[in-house]
Amino acid sequence: MTILNLQQANVAVIGAGTMGIGIAQLAAMHGHVTYVYDLDPVRVEQALNALTLQLQKRVDAGKMTAQLFNNTLENLKVAHTLDELAQSQLIIEAIVENKQLKQQLFQSLHEVCGAETIFASNTSSISITAIAADIPHPERVVGLHFFNPAPVMKLVEVIAGLKTSSKISDALIDLMIAWNKVPVRAKSTPGFIVNRIARPYYAEGFRALQENATTPEQLDFIMRECGRFSMGPCELTDLIGQDINFSVTRSVYEAFFDEPRYRPSLVQQELVDAGCLGRKSKQGFYHYGDENSKKMYQLPVTYSKQQHVLDVVIKGDWSHSQALITLLKQSSHLNVRTESGAVAEILIGEVSMRLSMGQSADIDYATQKVVLMDWHGDWSCASAIAVVASPACTDQDHQQIESLFIGMNIIPIWSKDHPGLYVLRTIAMLVNEGCEAVLHQIATENDVDAAMKFGVNYPKGPFQWAHELGYNIILETLQNLYRIYGEERYRPNLYLLKKVAQGFVQNQQPLRAVS
């Protein structure tokens, strides 16, 4: 098969909004003659003028050479009609998210462009197969999904429709690498990789709010501190726009024929109905009336009342949180010994502290003294951890748990009962969604991980978390959530079940040979 080379291709970008002009900037900076077209020619001129000022500031700040600045502007051309795009080899549309409008545009382009011209859509969720259905030569229609801002964000999803030529996908992968991007391959499916797999990050956080287990401030803090996410779900959706995020969720939910995993949240719908759309409306989960108006979570002031050394017994396998065990053993206020055990627990007096793998403190341990602990992504720099005590725990039991953590300069955040708590529950759902994508050959494990790290800035990809925690822990967490809630959204994926059955626990290696 002949290899298609787009390294010197003439490029056209249709749509002079923020995304369109960002894509045009990228192409022009990498040496492509780049035409920009918009139905409103004034918008194109305004966008290019704004881009010129922005790039000049980079030159003045020493972040861009004058030569690159001049070459970029020289490569950018304004197209006043679609006819002027006839010689473009790659046309990228970045217009409104509407299938009919995108189809009409490509049908019009077919009238002026040759059969070899590539039609790429920057759609974030519309089926490439559906867009290409009524376009002559549908094999040349492909998804090329950039993330905003396009010049900065590294990820690009290269999406193949049912009839997309593999030669075109391969050429675009090579082109994106030349543009210093991180391209990932995806099959055309609702939400592709990122907008599909990211749904649980919002959904599980909103579920916790709907159950009155936490507050937006506390939830966001826990996800940043314990999960090591750059932003919590409430502040992130405020930034995105509650209406936009809600619309994407509804779109994915409806496209999957009301699949429960993607069901929209009533909490978010209430915000949208009230016009509380986030930063752009000055109110969402938080108020943005002035720079200091956003309410920040404050860790509780807790003092250790323990005057003597605590005896601690570590039992079972804690390889998922080995850094915590190291901290415990190094702490002078603790007398630590280890014992074998079928259950992974840390015994402090009469209390058994365990990782909250989807269990409910109120339901599963109503008569036992058990404290369930969330998972922390980096115990070496931990400042807090979410915990919940069973009803049988006394004030003295609470004090002992506090003494254990405070002696390590870690503040326990006492939560209401919420099965799986926050970080582990969310990660388990993200892993399950990643497994679903791989099972249906939407993307590979590596591409799923790259997409989530470079597309939405997750600290790790779903499969990296699964390897670190252990697929067995992810599975047990989901099984417990499924048992407690009785909802299909928590059913473990077949790919995950197979991983555990084949012995994949941690570090990507099976525990036993698989025939």
Model confidence over 190-217: pLDDT tens digits? Answer: 999 999 999 999 999 999 999 999 999 9
- Specify whether domain 310-414 bears CATH 3.30.750: yes
The whole-chain average pLDDT of the chain stands at 94
**What is the predicted pLDDT for the residue at 514?**
33
Whole-angstrom distance, CA of residue 104 vs CA of residue 131: 9
Whole-angstrom distance, CA of residue 147 vs CA of residue 19: 8
**What is the predicted pLDDT for the residue at 508?**
46
Whole-angstrom distance, CA of residue 159 vs CA of residue 188: 6
Which whole number is the average pLDDT over 2-16?
95
Q: CB within 8 A of 140, min separation 6: which ones? A: 115, 116, 117, 118, 119, 164, 165, 168
pLDDT tens for 318-374 read 999 999 999 999 999 999 999 999 999 999 999 999 999 999 999 999 999 999 999
**Measured CA distances, 39 to 17, 45, 105, 126, 281 (Å):** 11, 12, 11, 22, 28
Would you list the domain boundaries of the chain?
11-188, 195-281, 310-414
The answer to whether the 11-188 and 310-414 domains have the same CATH topology is: no
pLDDT tens for 376-428 read 999 999 999 999 999 999 999 999 999 999 999 999 999 999 999 999 999 99
pLDDT tens for 467-493 read 999 999 999 999 999 999 999 999 999
Which whole number is the average pLDDT over 303-320?
84
Whole-angstrom distance, CA of residue 144 vs CA of residue 122: 5
Which CATH code fits 195-281? 1.10.1040.50
Active-site residue set:
124, 145, 157, 195
**What is the predicted pLDDT for the residue at 289?**
82
Which whole number is the average pLDDT over 6-29?
97
**What is the predicted pLDDT for the residue at 510?**
44
* 3-state helix vs strand vs coil in the chain, percent to 5: 45, 15, 40
**Per-residue pLDDT at 512 exceeds 50:** no
Q: Which residues of 294-315 are buried (b: 16+ CB within 10 A; e: fewer)?
A: eeebeeeebeeebeeebebebb
Q: Is 115 exposed, middle or buried (0-12, 13-18, 19+ CB in 10 A)?
A: exposed
**Per-residue pLDDT at 157 exceeds 50:** yes
Whole-angstrom distance, CA of residue 496 vs CA of residue 429: 11
**What is the predicted pLDDT for the residue at 262?**
95
**Per-residue pLDDT at 291 exceeds 70:** no
Q: Which residues of 403-435 are buried (b: 16+ CB within 10 A; e: fewer)?
A: bbbbbbebbbbebebbbbbbbbbbbbbbbbbbb
**Across the chain, how many H-helices and E-strands are there?**
20, 15
Whole-angstrom distance, CA of residue 176 vs CA of residue 258: 34
Which whole number is the average pLDDT over 68-86?
96
Whole-angstrom distance, CA of residue 373 vs CA of residue 64: 48
**What is the architecture, at CATH level 2, of domain 11-188?**
3-Layer(aba) Sandwich (3.40)
pLDDT tens for 411-421 read 999 999 999 99
Which whole number is the average pLDDT over 435-455?
97
Report percent pLDDT > 70 for the chain.
96
Judge contact between 271 and 285, C-beta under 8 A. yes
Which whole number is the average pLDDT over 78-98?
96
Name the packing angle between helices 462-469 and 423-439 (round to 10°).
Answer: 120
**Per-residue pLDDT at 511 exceeds 60:** no
**What is the predicted pLDDT for the residue at 54?**
96
**Per-residue pLDDT at 515 exceeds 80:** no
**What is the predicted pLDDT for the residue at 290?**
74
